[in-house]
Amino acid sequence: MSHELQFYIDGAWVVPSTPALLDIIDPSTEEAFAKVAMGDKADVDKAVAAARRAFTGFGVSSVAERLDLLKRIVDVYKKRSNDLALAISREMGAPRQFAAAAQVPAGLSHLEKIIEVLPDFEFRRAKGSNLVVREPIGVVGMITPWNWPLNQITGKVAPALAAGCTMVLKPSEVTPLDAIIFAEIMDEAGVPKGVFNLVNGDGPTVGRAIAAHPDIDMVSFTGSTRAGIQVAKTAADTVKRVHQELGGKSANILFPDVDLGVAVAKGVAGCFGNSGQTCTAPTRMLVPRDRHDEAAGHAKAAAEKFVVGPADAPETRLGPVANWLQYEKIQALIESGIAEGARLVAGGPGRPAGLNRGYHVRPTVFADVTPNMRIAREEIFGPVLSIIPYDTIEHAIELANDTVYGLASYIQAKDMEAARAAAAHMRTGGVYINYPVWDVGLPFGGYKQSGNGREFAEYGLEEFLELKAIAGYAAA
């Protein structure tokens, strides 16, 4: 049975309180291919009540019980991997191969990592005659985005389950289908009723109801900085914990000693991956001023190798962006780069040649970008790279830090001592030297307006726990 017209609440698939449907658009064709139910405050109230009841038992469950549950979820997740990949490819436009090789495994990685972390995690620690314990925070509201949907769902659900929390998930209304399959996975894995609940809906309705709800103890939000501010303001009245992973405008400093052709090509690939829809994408490439034009030439060559097309075409390397609003925003920013005097090296406004429908963006590179331009300051969330010249490494670090964001930064250098020294000055939650392999065992999160709190592994688990001091616990 299909569950697109239902929500998962208290261990059962239920109909919405009020009938309301939303078309799900295939960004490769701009055509609706499915409908999902949209929730309201009444649906959130039901889900929160179920989670609150379930917390009574699940909050005191043993580590062994939670570990066994997570392992069962992994088994079912693997069985449904193909279904998840097809759903993500269709609803957000990720190329089929990329959805199967990157999007779905990203979600699995958080489940597997928390299984690795949980057995040795210290929930109780003696301190003299006293005891310090970490206990689950309670009911968690989760609001997740459309760009890496499963990565963000499991990046919250896995540590919350490991902590002993219960939860209500609102996935993005752009990509609800993979979340519905995920709820089916949770159900088949035998998650106790009420522990995991799913309510689809939009931010102003369901998202706001979650953030404001007095019986929700914590909101974990991933999305834009603008939306994150609204969540925090709404949550403030009930003094709940607000965990946020927000926007980014990552700099990529290419040191003078790098092989420029290799470094630029890797930087372009990093910027354009997932059609540029990654919060950590290295969108500002900082290059030595005397090699600026050379870097621009390499970037042009690299950009022109990207094959743009519909998600189901085998040769597609760059799928469409996820929705019309995002497409329009990207187009406006490309136009602003031209109007403000940046030099267009590759791509530009409009769709690529031969594509007359779908939210396809031309792989775009700007050179001669100055720090005050919109394309250098605003998060574009599309395949658009800005090349900015620097005079010294100190100047490059200053440029890199000159942003309201602080999620990630990148350094490419042969001189590792110099790279490590530069990393110490980067005001970002993550610094990536020479394109390391992605590691979900590291903490993930940002400085400044890129959010607060951390995700991944034990660092994410800690976010879902409260500290309790029991004084005199071991006293005679």
| Secondary structure class of 58 (helix, strand, coil) | helix
Q: Are strands 430-433 and 408-412 parallel, antiparallel or unpaired?
A: parallel
Residue recorded with tokens 């701009």: 30
- Shared domain for 276 and 233, answered yes or no, is no
- For CA atoms 206, 207, 213, 217, the dihedral sign is positive
Residue recorded with tokens 């490819």: 89
- Shared domain for 240 and 280, answered yes or no, is no
Contacts of 52 (CB under 8 A, 6+ apart): 139, 166, 215
Return the closest-CA partner of residue 23 out of 32, 31, 10, 15.
32
The pLDDT value recorded for residue 110 is: 98
Distance, in Å, from the CA atom of 177 to the CA atom of 200, rounded to the nearest integer, reads 10
Residue recorded with tokens 């706001």: 208
Q: Is residue 192 part of a domain?
A: yes
Q: Is residue 445 part of a domain?
A: no
Q: Is residue 1 part of a domain?
A: no
The residue segments making up the domain with residue 166 are 7-246+450-470
Q: Where are the beta strands (DSSP E) in 375-441?
A: 384-390, 405-406, 408-412, 430-433
The pLDDT value recorded for residue 299 is: 98
What's 271's domain CATH number?
3.40.309.10
The pLDDT value recorded for residue 2 is: 85
- For CA atoms 367, 273, 94, 197, the dihedral sign is negative
Ordered per-residue pLDDT tens for the chain, 476 residues: 589 999 999 999 999 999 999 999 999 999 999 999 999 999 999 999 999 999 999 999 999 999 999 999 999 999 999 999 999 999 999 999 999 999 999 999 999 999 999 999 999 999 999 999 999 999 999 999 999 999 999 999 999 999 999 999 999 999 999 999 999 999 999 999 999 999 999 999 999 999 999 999 999 999 999 999 999 999 999 999 999 999 999 999 999 999 999 999 999 999 999 999 999 999 999 999 999 999 999 999 999 999 999 999 999 999 999 999 999 999 999 999 999 999 999 999 999 999 999 999 999 999 999 999 999 999 999 999 999 999 999 999 999 999 999 999 999 999 999 999 999 999 999 999 999 999 999 999 999 999 999 999 999 999 999 999 999 998 75
Angle between helices 104-117 and 149-163 (to 10 degrees): 20
Q: Which amino acid is at 420?
A: R
Q: Are strands 451-452 and 241-245 parallel, antiparallel or unpaired?
A: antiparallel
- Shared domain for 18 and 48, answered yes or no, is yes
The distance in angstroms from the start CA to the end CA of the chain is 60
Distance, in Å, from the CA atom of 447 to the CA atom of 295, rounded to the nearest integer, reads 29
- Shared domain for 100 and 116, answered yes or no, is yes
Options 279, 378, 379, 455, the catalytic residue: 279
The pLDDT value recorded for residue 475 is: 74
- For CA atoms 170, 175, 177, 182, the dihedral sign is negative
Overall residue count recorded for the chain in this entry: 476
88-104: b (≥16 Cβ within 10 Å) or e: bbbbbbbbbebbbebbb
Distance, in Å, from the CA atom of 347 to the CA atom of 366, rounded to the nearest integer, reads 9
- State phi, psi for 80 to the nearest 5 degrees: -100, 10
**Beta bridge partners of residue 24, listed in sequence order:** 34
Return the closest-CA partner of residue 430 out of 418, 419, 412, 442.
442
How far is C-alpha 368 from the chain's CA centre? 30
**Beta bridge partners of residue 142, listed in sequence order:** 169, 220
Q: Is-catalytic flag, 279?
A: yes
How far is C-alpha 183 from the chain's CA centre? 19
- Shared domain for 217 and 298, answered yes or no, is no
Options 91, 173, 184, 245, the catalytic residue: 245
Q: Is residue 266 part of a domain?
A: yes
The pLDDT value recorded for residue 309 is: 97
Query: Distances from the Cα of 20 to the Cαs of 23, 26, 145, 420, in angstroms?
Result: 10, 20, 21, 54
Q: Is residue 99 part of a domain?
A: yes
Q: Is residue 260 part of a domain?
A: yes
| Total tally of structural domains belonging to the chain | 2
- Shared domain for 383 and 404, answered yes or no, is yes
Angle between helices 104-117 and 81-92 (to 10 degrees): 130
What's 82's domain CATH number?
3.40.605.10
In this prediction the pTM is 0.97
How far is C-alpha 162 from the chain's CA centre? 20
| Secondary structure class of 281 (helix, strand, coil) | coil
- Shared domain for 256 and 175, answered yes or no, is no
Q: Is residue 117 part of a domain?
A: yes
- State phi, psi for 281 to the nearest 5 degrees: -55, 135
Distance, in Å, from the CA atom of 418 to the CA atom of 416, rounded to the nearest integer, reads 5
Q: Is-catalytic flag, 271?
A: no
- Shared domain for 78 and 198, answered yes or no, is yes
Residue recorded with tokens 């065992």: 441
Angle between helices 177-188 and 149-163 (to 10 degrees): 30
Burial of 129 per CB tally in 10 Å (0-12, 13-18, 19+): exposed
Angle between helices 177-188 and 63-79 (to 10 degrees): 130
The H-assigned helical ranges of 244-357 are 260-272, 292-303, 324-339
- Shared domain for 104 and 194, answered yes or no, is yes
- Shared domain for 296 and 185, answered yes or no, is no
Q: Is residue 227 part of a domain?
A: yes
- State phi, psi for 128 to the nearest 5 degrees: 65, -130
- Shared domain for 188 and 258, answered yes or no, is no
- Shared domain for 434 and 305, answered yes or no, is yes
